[in-house]
Amino acid sequence: METFKKLKDFYWPYRKSFYLSLVFLLLVTVITVIYPVILQLTIDEVISKQQFHYIPYIAIGFLGIMALKGVFTYYNQFLGDLFGIRSVYRLRNELYEKLQFLPFRYYDNAKTGDLMSRLTADVEGFRFFLSFGFAELIRFVLLVTISLSLMFYYSVALTFVTLIAMPFLAFITYRFDKRVHPAFRGIRKSFGKLNTNVQENISGINTVKSLSREDYQIGKFNNSNEDYKDKYITTANIWAKYFPLMEFIGNACVVGLISFGGYLVINGTLTAGGLVAFFSLIWYIVWPIANLGFVINQFSQAKASGERLLEILDANEDIQDHPEAKDVSKLNGHVTFENVTFQYPNEDKKALEDVTFDAPPGKQIGLIGATGSGKTSITQLITRFYEPQSGRILVDGEEVKNYSLYTLRNQIGFVLQESFLFSSTIKSNIAYGRPNATMDEIVRAAKMAQAHDFIMELPDGYDTMLGERGMGLSGGQKQRIAIARALILDPSILVLDDATSAVDMQTEFNIQRELKGALSGRTTFIIAHRISSLKHADEILVLEEGKVIERGTHDELVGKNGAYRRIYDIQYKDQKAVLATQTN
């Protein structure tokens, strides 16, 4: 029960509904065990004594009890459902909120499909046990307790004979739980992998089709599906072995009791009605015990689900606001790195090593280097997406950890190479960081990003609904909307991470021309592979394997015979060759 204890805060506030459902469950159970008593009285007092005039009264009373049981059953089930639904409503919200604040390092290893599985299938599995499983366990205890009490009333000897089989059933049930719980945990993990395969395939369908990898994806899915099937078959095999065994012991117990009970009736120790009632009460014990396997099945699934949910809830939020973190209305944007060294979790190689630079307010800093050289890592450290292992990162003379995360990230605008857009209108996507932005502000940001013209050519203009991840727009169009989304924040620090890589040279030139006014007064980090994107920067840092190997303006770096000059020669040599060919 340790898993349920850890999740107690989610269902305990709604215990009133649970307790009320138990009251009605008790009433339903009491009425249920009255049936054998009515049967015994009918046989012994009416049929045996031929007092048939009581039969209409017994029938009417029996119908009344059945109607009452129906009412009590309704409230028992409704309140039980209410308990489970309210509990997981809170739990689901808490899980989603937790996912919003988990650091990037968590998502470095997490799988989208697996996380979706936890928030859907695992939450639902936990809810089902809260709504029905707990009640079934208590119903089992109540039914067995009340039935045993009546059985002792009818015949002590026959009851003790019944109890002989109980330890065997209890042992088999215990063994069943020990085997079925790991099996269900395996099912949950396998289902998460299956979801991940589906999610990745749908998200990357363009890549799959462009490379004709449909057969590979089908094979990959079949492997995951087969693993899921095998896990379920293993669990079904466990169930198939133990359930008939429990049923056999119960039926063997019934055969023995009928034989011994008949002997007691012949000797006059027990009445015929008492034997019939006793036999009916036996099933109120045998079937719940046999059904205990199903309840344990539910319990094991809920426990496995609860453990997976706790893995999210207990995940370490290692990047949080410090107790005395500052909220600042506006930053100047003065960024300083002092001997910063950083290494990603589970990586052997350092992403940055002893990096030092100063970016005064309003300056443009270009970052260039090969893939994996550390360019993006610099900007992710400014926003505290990760924490460095050593060194200091300052904004306006204060270490970034001294600011609240909201202050820091709300004043840093990001435009990434892969621009993510939501399934909403273009207007909503641009104003995502500033939901209260006016239409004039949205249009102004779009114009600076060279996005206004193509937006107005769309059927509904700014109210055009975008497909998932911006489907329906070209890569360049998505990037321009992402640039508008960053500019509308009016950030003190702007990060352009290959922000114009998907647009043509002419559009890039137009964007840069429009951005000149927008970049004025704000510190800008321009990450690029194309020199044309950053040659106008106030200072350019050339990175290699996490180290700054060169720095200076474009003209200064071109004048050196270093890494930057080699990149320049490669890019512009190709352009000159093309121009020469066209001239000839």
Q: Each residue of 337-366: pLDDT tens digit?
A: 999 999 988 788 899 999 999 999 989 999
- Return d(Cα 10, Cα 306) in angstroms, integer: 12
φ, ψ for residue 521 (rounded to 5)?
Answer: 85, -5
Q: What is the pLDDT along the chain (584 residues), one digit of tens a residue?
A: 788 888 888 888 888 998 999 899 889 888 888 888 888 778 777 777 777 777 787 788 878 888 998 999 899 889 988 998 888 888 888 888 888 888 878 877 777 777 887 888 888 888 888 888 778 888 888 888 888 888 888 888 877 877 776 777 767 777 776 777 678 778 877 877 787 777 667 666 656 665 567 787 788 888 888 888 888 888 888 877 777 777 777 677 777 777 777 777 778 777 777 778 887 787 777 677 666 766 777 787 788 888 888 888 888 877 888 888 888 888 888 999 999 999 988 788 899 999 999 999 989 999 998 888 888 899 889 988 889 999 999 999 999 989 988 888 888 888 877 777 887 888 988 888 888 889 999 998 888 888 898 899 888 889 988 866 556 677 778 888 888 888 888 888 988 887 665 556 666 666 666 667 667 778 989 888 878 888 888 999 999 999 999 999 999 998 888 888 988 888 776 555 544 554 44
> Model-level pTM?
0.69
pLDDT at 517: 66
Nearest to 499 by CA among 517, 514, 511: 511
pLDDT at 419: 73
- Return d(Cα 415, Cα 71) in angstroms, integer: 61
3-state helix, strand, coil in the chain (%, to 5): 65, 10, 25
| Cβ atoms of 488 and 442 closer than 8 Å | yes
Region of 494 (left: φ > 0; alpha: ψ -120 to 50; beta: rest) is: beta
Distances (CA, A) of 441 to 329, 436, 458: 20, 10, 19
pLDDT at 582: 47
φ, ψ for residue 441 (rounded to 5)?
Answer: -65, -40
pLDDT at 578: 47
| Cβ atoms of 293 and 176 closer than 8 Å | yes
What distance lies between CA 374 and its chain's CA centroid? 30
pLDDT at 335: 93
pLDDT at 159: 78
pLDDT tens, residue by residue, 517-527: 667 778 989 88
Region of 177 (left: φ > 0; alpha: ψ -120 to 50; beta: rest) is: alpha
Nearest to 251 by CA among 279, 286, 275: 286
- Return d(Cα 513, Cα 505) in angstroms, integer: 12
| CA trace torsion 33, 37, 42, 43 (10° rounding) | 110
CATH homologous superfamily of 2-313 equals: ABC transporter type 1, transmembrane domain (1.20.1560.10)
User: How confident is the prediction for the chain on average, in pLDDT?
Assistant: 82
pLDDT at 579: 47
- Return d(Cα 479, Cα 503) in angstroms, integer: 8
pLDDT at 393: 93
Helix ranges, 431-553 (H) = 439-448, 452-456, 475-487, 505-519
pLDDT at 244: 77
| CA trace torsion 241, 247, 249, 253 (10° rounding) | 180
CATH number for the domain running over 335-553: 3.40.50.300
Distances (CA, A) of 449 to 319, 372, 432, 452: 32, 28, 16, 8
- Return d(Cα 366, Cα 290) in angstroms, integer: 71
- Listed by start position, the domains of the chain span 2-313, 335-553
How many CA atoms are closer than 13 Å to the CA of 308, on its beta-carbon side? Answer: 31
